[in-house]
Amino acid sequence: MLIRVNDQVMVIAGASKGVTGKVLKVDREKGKLVVEGVARVWKHVRRSQKNPQGGRLSLEMPIDASNVMVICPKTGQPSRLGVRYLPDGGKERYAKKSGASMGQIAPPRSAYAGS
């Protein structure tokens, strides 16, 4: 999964379709994401020392990673992500729609450096 925490994403399927938000948490084993302001539910909480008031808390629940697309930093439109090697042998994420870099994900390695 190429989506990282703090990426800006748009929900493309489900009840929150069309909503954009920041990724707060990524669960790679389950293929789920927690996105700010998406899939909110009410959790009923009993009174405790941590929560002396008790009552209802509004929480974001995880959604499947296949239901979101990353927002391209160059165009502001949803885009798929790809991985490419840099001339120095490093690896980076990029937006397939515009080719804009989304940050390096692996350090340079001489085996993958271009000649």
In the chain, how many domains are there? Answer: 2
Give 16-41 pLDDT, tens digit per residue: 999 999 999 999 999 999 999 999 99
Mean pLDDT, all residues of the chain: 93
Cβ 86 vs Cβ 92: under 8 Å: yes
Q: Model-level pTM?
A: 0.85
SS3 state at 68: strand
Domain with 81 in it: 74-115
As a whole number of angstroms, the distance between CA 1 and CA 95 comes to 14
Q: Are residues 114 and 92 in the same domain?
A: yes
Q: Are residues 10 and 44 in the same domain?
A: yes
